[in-house]
Structure 1
Amino acid sequence: MMSRWLSAMAFLLSSSAAATALGAEPAESLRLCFDPANLPFSSADPKTPGLYVEIGEAVGQAMGRAVTPVWTITYLGKRAVRTSLLAGKCDAEIGLPRDPDFMGPKLVFSKPILHVGYTLVVPESRGIASLDDLRGERVAVQFGTTPQNLLASRDDIQAVTFREPEEAMSALANRDVDAAFIWGPIAGYLNKTVYADTYRVTPMNGPGLQWPVAIGFAGGQNALREQVDGAIDRISAEIEVLATKYGFPTETPIKLGNPESSAPKLVLAAAEEQQDATPTPVPAVAKPAAEAPPSGNQDTAAAGRELFDGTCAHCHGPGAVTTERRINLRLLQRRYGEKMDETFMYTVTHGRPEKGMPNWSGVFTEDQFAQILSFLHTVQTR
């Protein structure tokens, strides 16, 4: 890696010197936002820079521009994009979901560079054609993820929940589970770097399981986007090599849903109907669904939904949809009644460290907390 980096720098320096001799200005460096500790995607350690950093260097070399990394924490999702890329701290960010609904017109995207998502991990010697092949087995899933929701609808597969993919892979290695249905980039990277390619890591196709990722730019940066698209075309083969280097899954994806299967259909929408474990008596007059917010509050609730999905969905699910009852925020009204607002505000401003929830008071303003709470009021299960 270091030799390639030095070669690239030598090329850029010689090009710059030649341009200066001819009276031309050297090209400005390309500032790219990266997380300093997010392998296999990116790292500030030059010995293991990560896939996105190496792709960024290749893009810069193809464009004849040096690359300047801008280190920024990406855990906070959309908020991180707002405070870095959209704040003008960098020119582009690699690895954003290529989805027009992701922050809308605030961003424009390059052509896709990769697809990322969830994968099924089994011993290398084993072939899997569908989830039906896992009937009667123990399958590791990550807390608050689409795979967890999917397996919750099946009684013939025992889901074993872990918070992190590293824990799930360790359980698989210890034979505490028979397979793992977890985040693919980390599963593939661990399989290559820790488990010596012991496992077959296969992408799973289905709603909420795979996404195209691209390089994102602030809205209006169409000229730069076109230049980067041209560079992507020129380095497409190198991107494939780099993806393999970092263990990204290359197996043919398995499609969910077998029309000949007798297993229950996997319906994500069922998660929105999550009810108490104890049956609730049906009243003589049905209770109304949660009322829509007054027209003046609809924008507040919409802003709250965007904040929630950008940060809170990591644990509580997009739109607060999850099959884990203990973290189901759609049940706040049922649990706390008139004290729902008070409980929410205390929790987000103090945290619950013993349960892994941080204090968010240094991240969101009071107005933003109010927006998130307004959104949660619109989705309460009565």
Structure 2
Amino acid sequence: MTNGNLYRGLLLGLAGYLTLAAAPAAFAQASGDGADLSIELIDPKVLRVCADPRNMPFSDEKGEGFENKIAELFAAKLQKKLDYMYFPQATGFVRMTLGAHRCDVIMGYPQGDDLVQGTNPYYRTTYAIVTKPGSDLADVATLEDTRLKGRHIGIIAGTPPGTNMAIAGLMATAKPYPLMIDTRVDSSAQAMIDDVKSGAIDAGVLWGPMAGYYAKQASPALHVTPLIKETTGPKLVYRIGMGVRPADQNWKRQLNKMIQESQGEINKILLDYGVPLLDESDHLITAEAVTKSP
């Protein structure tokens, strides 16, 4: 199974990760669009979400992930029942869920993956480096920083930052963690964070939502620096939207409208989970800015 869907679909050449969403005809009429979504949705009265049952901080069967919370937000606004089709985020996830018409939306899906039709993005984030507070590496902002040479840096094997680390000459002393694991019993992200806390590694490089979430759970909280200043290797910033079936044009438009109208509430949910949010200029979006926004 993919490591916590850690890179769900997001790995357009990375390695795999993320989700989608759905809505009914009543909302189409309320928004001034008279299109009948019943021909696109499994049940116009239910928001049916495709999700991984064990993929924190994104989703789980207990509804504890931030994608669960965003789905709850949309269902409440649509006045619809919320239901899930849970399936491990591994090979065949889209085919067995969205493609099999068992659900109508994946709540988090990277732009650019052609397995699904993407909505407009609802957040933009990046990979990040995680260190202990007070560490001599706490102010490192790029993998090109010479202070990382010879240090033990954790990296999920096969993910984009690995290329940047290789170019910077960091792989000889790096500690790789497996991308493909059984998420029912293991978590490479949690293992990496535990190693940062214990000092087994000097720093860890993780997908931002996971880095922010697990670092926030640590006591004391770990330091997270978004990797937005890379000048070599692949760009580590990605836009995340939702995923629907290629034919579901009206449904996609309804979701786009929901995203636009709910952006402030979505941002608050993401920030509560420690997700490093970026605007289009790569500036961090803060909780204070979200609170002040109309």
Inter-partner Cα distance in structure 1 for 2:45 and 2:65 = 24
Q: Tell me, in whole angstroms, the C-alpha distance in 1 between the residues paired with 2:45 and 2:52.
A: 22
Q: TM-score, normalised by structure 2?
A: 0.67
Q: 1:254, CA displacement in angstroms?
A: 11
Tell me the amino acid that sits aligned with residue 244 of structure 2: F
Mapping 1:323-338, distance limit 5 Å = none
> Gaps spanning 5+ residues in structure 1: where?
1-14, 16-25, 256-382
Q: How does 1:223-234 map to 2 (within 5 A)?
A: 223-234=250-261
Give, in angstroms, the shift of residue 96 of structure 1.
1.5
Once residues 157 and 261 of structure 2 are traced to their aligned partners in structure 1, the CA distance between those partners, rounded to angstroms, is 39
Measure how far apart 1:27 and its partner are: 5.6
Question: Which of the residues 188, 192, 197 maps onto 1:173?
Answer: 197
* CA shift digits 1:296-350 (9 cap, x unpaired): xxxxxxxxxxxxxxxxxxxxxxxxxxxxxxxxxxxxxxxxxxxxxxxxxxxxxxx
Percent of aligned positions that are identical = 24
**Kindly tell me: are residues 93 and 179 of structure 1, through their superposed partners in 2, closer, same or farther at Cα, counting changes over 3 Å?**
same
Size of the alignment, in residue pairs? 223
Matches of 1:40 and 1:219, distance apart in 2? 27
Larger Rg: 1
**Residues 208 and 180 from structure 1, CA distance in 2 versus in 1: closer, same or farther, beyond 3 angstroms?**
same
1:102 aligned to 114, 133, 146, which one?
114
Deviation of 1:130 (Å): 2.4
**Distance change in 2, residues 1:231/1:196 (3 Å):** farther
The verdict on how the C-alpha distance between 1:254 and 1:189 changes in structure 2, with shifts beyond 3 A counting, is farther
Deviation of 1:169 after TM superposition, in Å, equals 1.5
Shift of 1:216: 0.9
Following the alignment from structure 1 to structure 2, what is the Cα–Cα distance between the partners of residues 253 and 75? 31
Is 1:144 aligned to residue 158 of structure 2? yes
How many angstroms apart in 1 are the aligned matches of 2:44 and 2:68? Answer: 20
- Cα displacement string for residues 231-279 of structure 1 (whole angstroms, at most 9, x for unaligned residues): 1112111111111121212479999xxxxxxxxxxxxxxxxxxxxxxxx
CA contact 2:56–2:65 (8 Å) conserved in 1:
yes
1:41 and 2:89 correspond:
no
Residues 222 and 169 of structure 1: is their aligned pair in 2 closer, same or farther, counting only changes over 3 Å? same
Distance 1:27 1:80 in 2: 23
Task: Looking at secondary structure, tell me which structure has more helix per residue.
Answer: 1
After TM superposition, list the pairs within 5 Å mapping 1:131-210 onto structure 2: 131=143, 132=145, 133-155=147-169, 158-163=173-178, 164-204=188-228, 207=234, 209-210=236-237
Q: 1:27 to 1:90 in 2, by over 3 A?
A: closer
Q: Name the SS for the 1:152 alignment partner.
A: helix
The change in CA–CA distance for 1:195 and 1:143 in structure 2 (over 3 A counts) is farther
- SS of corresponding position for 2:49: strand
| Partner in structure 2 of residue 56 of structure 1 | 71
| Native 8 Å contact 1:172 1:179 kept in 2 | yes
Is residue 239 from structure 1 mapped to residue 271 from structure 2 by the alignment? no
Report the counterpart of residue 84 of structure 1 in structure 2.
Answer: 97
Per the alignment, in what secondary structure is the counterpart of residue 174 of structure 2? strand
- Structure 1 length-normalised TM: 0.53
Shift of 1:40: 0.4
Tell me: higher relative CO, structure 1 or 2? Use CA pairs within 8 A at least 6 residues apart.
2
Answer yes or no: is the 8 Å Cα contact 2:130–2:205 preserved in 1. Answer: yes
Evaluate the alpha carbon distance shift between residue 253 and residue 185 of structure 1 in structure 2; reply closer, same or farther with a 3 A threshold: farther
- Residue number in structure 1 paired with 2:21: none
RMSD between aligned residues: 2.8
What amino acid is the match of 2:265?
A: E
Structure 2 match to 1:127: 139
Given residue 135 of structure 1, which amino acid in structure 2 is its aligned partner?
K
Instruction: Return the alpha-carbon distance in structure 1 between the equivalents of residues 280 and 255 of structure 2.
Output: 28
Q: Would the aligned equivalents of 1:62 and 1:234 in 2 still touch at CA under 8 Å?
A: no
Q: 2:83 aligns with which of 68, 87, 91?
A: 68
